[in-house]
């Protein structure tokens, strides 16, 4: 394990490095909580970065692909992903499942299908996750009195979605740009997540269109609550109708399953997809350029990491696919 120090905003932050195929143990004074994830391919660095926007210290796991950084000066596209503790190593997660991003990405890279990215996994905390990933400004678009479930949530839950997004852009991104060889342009900077992380991904792209050129939104939790009240879904739609980027360059990936919680997402998801099309997003642009929209229904899939791992190749190809880029 490599212990390093990363200067960010005047502070020195600990870093632990997990090499592929090796077990690592905590050393020195670096806090390794939750357990370090081990990569089956590539490497994982662990950081603890203080967020002045949120007033908390956030755990960050950074995955770099095989061969990084190389000696040719190449800069890598980057994906910022939510729920970073669930991305790479099922042996460290609460439910024994993970997205298996290290192995899935490595397989696509080896096949020549995508450009190798750096993945920055932002850990969530169970106690604050829903409020942290909540698209905060959607609350301003609630025009009717919400039912008791949504009302109680909005009244009792600290909403920090704006602070969370600002942390990614204003604190985390500069730190990662300084520590890694990343591209600096929005066309190669993406944000991705599932459930509430899907909401935050399209929200972050809409709030910071100059930073994020694409969003991968899997099993997006459009419904807000599970009681059939459409208030939140309507508010999110109204927010996106005003703020979703519409310059023809941004890319949006949506999907959902058909089982468990995912069975509730179809109508709201299709409504947002229709909105995106009306704003110029297209699965098949008439001019032959790369698609800016993809929408997929995963039949039989539920709301768990194993299902997202089974289909994450699709948004990776959509956002990072070499054939699309070469055809531009």
For 194-241, write each residue's pLDDT tens digit.
Answer: 999 999 999 999 999 999 999 999 999 999 999 989 999 999 999 999
Q: What is the pTM of this model?
A: 0.91
First-to-last C-alpha distance (Å) of the chain: 42
The CATH-assigned architecture of domain 2-326 is 3-Layer(aba) Sandwich (3.40)
- What's the rounded Cα separation, in Å, for the pair 257 and 152? 28
Phi, psi of 79, rounded to the nearest 5 degrees: -120, 120
pLDDT level of residue 17 (50, 70, 90 thresholds): low
- Per-residue pLDDT tens for 299-321? 999 999 999 999 999 999 999 99
Alpha-helical runs (H) found in 209-295: 231-243, 266-278
Dist CA 21 CA 257 (whole Å): 32
Tokens 């980027």 correspond to 245
Instruction: Give me 73's structure tokens.
Output: 């000066």
Cis amide leading into 168 (omega within 30) = no
């Amino acid at each position: 394990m490599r212990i390093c120090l990363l200067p960010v905003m005047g502070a020195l932050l600990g870093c632990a490095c997990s090499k592929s195929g090796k077990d690592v143990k905590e050393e020195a004074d670096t806090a390794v909580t939750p357990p370090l994830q081990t990569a089956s391919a590539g490497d994982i660095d662990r950081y603890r970065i203080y967020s002045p926007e949120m007033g908390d210290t956030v755990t960050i796991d950074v995955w770099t692909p095989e061969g990084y950084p190389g000696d040719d000066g190449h800069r890598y596209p980057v994906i910022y992903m939510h729920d970073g503790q669930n991305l790479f190593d099922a042996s460290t997660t609460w439910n024994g499942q993970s997205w298996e991003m290290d192995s899935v990405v490595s397989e696509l890279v080896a096949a020549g299908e995508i450009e190798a990215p750096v993945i920055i996994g932002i850990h969530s905390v169970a106690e604050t996750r829903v409020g942290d990933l909540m698209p905060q400004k959607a609350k301003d678009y609630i025009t009717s009195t919400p039912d008791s479930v949504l009302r109680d949530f909005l009244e009792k839950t600290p909403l920090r979605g704006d602070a969370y997004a600002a942390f990614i852009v204003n604190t985390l991104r500069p730190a990662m740009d300084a520590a890694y060889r990343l591209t600096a342009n929005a066309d190669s900077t993406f944000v991705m997540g599932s459930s509430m992380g899907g909401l935050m991904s399209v929200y972050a792209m809409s709030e910071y269109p100059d930073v994020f050129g694409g969003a991968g939104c899997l099993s997006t939790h459009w419904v807000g609550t599970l009681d059939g009240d459409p208030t939140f879904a309507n508010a999110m739609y109204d927010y996106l109708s005003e703020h979703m980027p519409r310059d023809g360059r941004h890319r949006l990936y949506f999907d959902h399953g058909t089982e468990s919680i995912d069975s509730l997402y179809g109508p709201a998801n299709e409504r947002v997809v229709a909105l995106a099309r009306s704003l110029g997003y297209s699965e098949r642009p008439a001019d032959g350029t790369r698609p800016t929209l993809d929408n997929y229904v995963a039949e039989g899939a539920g709301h768990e990491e194993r299902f997202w791992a089974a289909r994450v190749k699709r948004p990776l190809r959509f956002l990072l696919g070499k054939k699309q880029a070469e055809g531009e």
